[in-house]
Amino acid sequence: MASDFDLYRPSEEHEMLRDSVRALAEAKIAPYAAEVDEEARFPQEALDALVANDLHAVHVPEAYGGAGADALATVIVIEEVARVCGSSSLIPAVNKLGSLPVILSASEELKKRCLTPLAKGDAMFSYCLSEPDAGSDAGGMKTKAVRDGDSWVLNGVKRWITNAGVSDYYTVMAVTDPDKRTKGISAFVVEKDDEGVSFGAPEKKLGIKGSPTREVYLDNVRIPADRMIGAEGTGFATAMKTLDHTRITIAAQALGLAQGALDYAKGYVQERKQFGKPIGDFQGVQFMLADMAMKIEAARQLTYAAAARSERVSEGSDKEDLTFFGAAAKCYASDAAMEITTDAVQLLGGYGYTRDYPVERMMRDAKITQIYEGTNQVQRIVMARNLP
């Protein structure tokens, strides 16, 4: 297995991007992070700042007005936004998740229709795979699409849809041939304004409270046949191919949350004094910080290596071990983030347990990274089936 660390290390341009995103995030996003969490409201300030700086959907190809950024650049954007606000990092992350099926498999006409407004910042994209009875077993979905002349009519419910109600476009997986199980699932672009589309109440969540999570209801939603993504029956394959790439963005989100927690804890232990000296001088605290930093660096290297494989596959290379690396990066980085953010709370003691300090929010936000886009138990199944 070849090493990507020599092949795809961050370039000078990538590091310049990191510096600019970090500065933007600290100036325009961080000041609102606590308020967004407390009020469970969409981080409009973050969206405005990201759009103004063309950072809301950097993955969109240049042919459709996008930046055409590579996979590592997308990871860096998400990582740096998540470092200050987990909810806000889901803007670029879910824009990629929702639109990647279109990029991978849609007709040129459908790409132009959806990707151009996404690139301009005039629209957002969401991804509708999960259902009330189809989570880890996504192939067990019940949402149906029935052909009617030049249209498809969709009926069903999608659950746990990130940024639902805010996004304008929704990639929806639906059953078009019940007898073929996963090979009878097709993908469609549904628009927010299509008749019959509605949304449930926002879920009351532990974390990422600023990113609305709602059900999407499809009640006899009639859409033109040309809004099918790829050929009939290829939707599930497109969905799984998408997740190979986008699990890396969840790794990036987890990485950013972990880095933000470490950065804050590191500063705190130098200021907080007990027994006549900063608690950062005590070996027990130093060992905790060392372990946190070590795990973050391991997560970063694994995430960047996965991004390298994502980029090579996007450029036409064989799939290689992208499936393994995408699952490994997501699994390891999210487990590390949960541990590191919990340790950050511990380092702040009683203060860490209050909302006056950001680490308890980071800990709550980190938990979902172990769950969505495939639980970490499922990631281990994926890895076992795709060992390099």
What SS3 string covers the chain?
CCCCCCCCCCCHHHHHHHHHHHHHHHHHHHHHHHHHHHHCCCCHHHHHHHHHCCCCCCCCCHHHCCCCCCHHHHHHHHHHHHCCCHHHHHHHHHHHHHHHHHHHHCCHHHHHHHHHHHHHCCCCEEEECCECCECCCHHHCCCEEEEECCEEEEEEEEEEEECCCCCCEEEEEEECCHHHHHHHEEEEEEECCCCCEEECCCCCCCCCCCCCEEEEEEEEEEEEHHHEECCCCCHHHHHHHHHHHHHHHHHHHHHHHHHHHHHHHHHHHHHCEECCEEHHHCHHHHHHHHHHHHHHHHHHHHHHHHHHHHHHHHCCCCCCCHHHHHHHHHHHHHHHHHHHHHHHHHHHHHHHHCCCCCHHHHHHHHHHCCCCCCCHHHHHHHHHHCCC
**Per-residue pLDDT tens over the stretch 46-64:** 999 999 999 999 999 999 9
**Per-residue pLDDT tens over the stretch 328-358:** 999 999 999 999 999 999 999 999 999 999 9
The answer on 216 and 116 residing in a single domain is no
**How would residue 10 be classed by pLDDT, with cut points 50, 70 and 90?**
confident
- Section 383-387 average pLDDT: 93
- CATH of residue 160: 2.40.110.10
The answer on 345 and 319 residing in a single domain is yes
Domain boundary, last residue among 210, 234, 258: 234
Name the residue with higher pLDDT: 321 or 113.
Answer: 113
The answer on 96 and 135 residing in a single domain is no
Domain boundary, last residue among 184, 202, 234: 234
The answer on 241 and 228 residing in a single domain is no
Q: In this predicted structure, what is the pLDDT of residue 316?
A: 64
Domain extent at residue 333: 236-385
Name the residue with higher pLDDT: 98 or 314.
Answer: 98
The answer on 375 and 273 residing in a single domain is yes
The answer on 375 and 250 residing in a single domain is yes
Is 356 among the domain residues? Answer: yes
**Per-residue pLDDT tens over the stretch 118-165:** 999 999 999 999 999 999 999 999 999 999 999 999 999 999 999 999
The answer on 140 and 89 residing in a single domain is no
- Per annotation, catalytic residue among 80, 215, 311, 373: 373
- Catalytic annotation present for 12: no
The answer on 291 and 226 residing in a single domain is no
Query: What mean pLDDT, rounded, does the chain reach?
Result: 95
The answer on 374 and 274 residing in a single domain is yes
Domain boundary, last residue among 213, 234, 255: 234
Does 2 score more than 50 pLDDT? no
**Per-residue pLDDT tens over the stretch 265-322:** 999 999 999 999 999 999 999 999 999 999 999 999 999 999 999 988 866 666 668 9
Q: In this predicted structure, what is the pLDDT of residue 318?
A: 60
Is 140 among the domain residues? Answer: yes
The number of domains in the chain is: 3
Is 6 among the domain residues? Answer: no
Residue linked to tokens 């859409």:
223
The answer on 284 and 160 residing in a single domain is no
Q: In this predicted structure, what is the pLDDT of residue 313?
A: 83
The answer on 104 and 17 residing in a single domain is yes
- CATH of residue 73: 1.10.540.10
pTM: 0.96
Is 316 among the domain residues? Answer: yes
C-alpha span between 207 and 176 (Å, rounded): 35
